[in-house]
Amino acid sequence: MKARYTSDGGEMEYELYQANGMTATVMNTQGMNTRTVVRDGKTYVIIEEQQMVMVYSSNELFELPDMGNVADFNYIGEGSGDFHGNTYRYDEYEDYTGGRQFYYVDGGALKGIRIVAGGMTIDMIILALDNNIPASVFEVPSDYMVIDMSD
């Protein structure tokens, strides 16, 4: 998946890949490129501009907070609305915190997700949603400076 996130705080390009028990994310925000690779029981945070790799135990970093069970989401209904200059059909849900999520679709294809919670709106514009995974996204450069934080 490749997406662009927009909010009051700015914009960020984000890519997420999963294959063979590995996960990689690629983020570009304010000119900074960061790639995170989770594999082999470790998390590698790769900062391209600084040619640096920070290594963590996988359970030390990026643990997701308890977001409740998907069954805790309430379906509100469907509608039609503007999402970045296009009108799409959407399904609306309310999460356990009272936040709203709108899933915009066009002909069965997910075009974006809008999250409205805590006085903030975050849009995730779907740029690509496919199985094209570059093998290099899971590689950890061997010639970068390594800072091992896993001990």
Q: Give the mean pLDDT of 37-55.
A: 93
Hey, is 135 helix, strand or coil? helix
Q: Which residues contact 73 (CB under 8 A, 6 or more apart)?
A: 93, 94, 95, 96, 101
Residue 59 in this model has a pLDDT that exceeds 70: no
Extents of the domains making up the chain: 2-60+134-148, 72-128
Hey, is 70 helix, strand or coil? helix
Neighbours of 71 (CB within 10 A): 7
> What pLDDT does residue 65 have?
45
Closest CA to 37 of 19, 13, 11: 19
pLDDT in tens, 63-72: 544 445 556 7
**Quick check: 10 and 25 in contact, CB under 8 A?**
no
Between 65 and 146, the more confident residue is: 146
Q: Give the mean pLDDT of 28-42.
A: 87
> What pLDDT does residue 64 have?
44
Question: What pLDDT band is residue 137 in, cutting at 50, 70 and 90?
Answer: very high
pLDDT in tens, 72-130: 789 999 999 999 999 999 999 998 889 999 999 999 899 999 999 988 999 999 998 88
* Rounded Cα gap, residues 122 and 6, in angstroms: 6
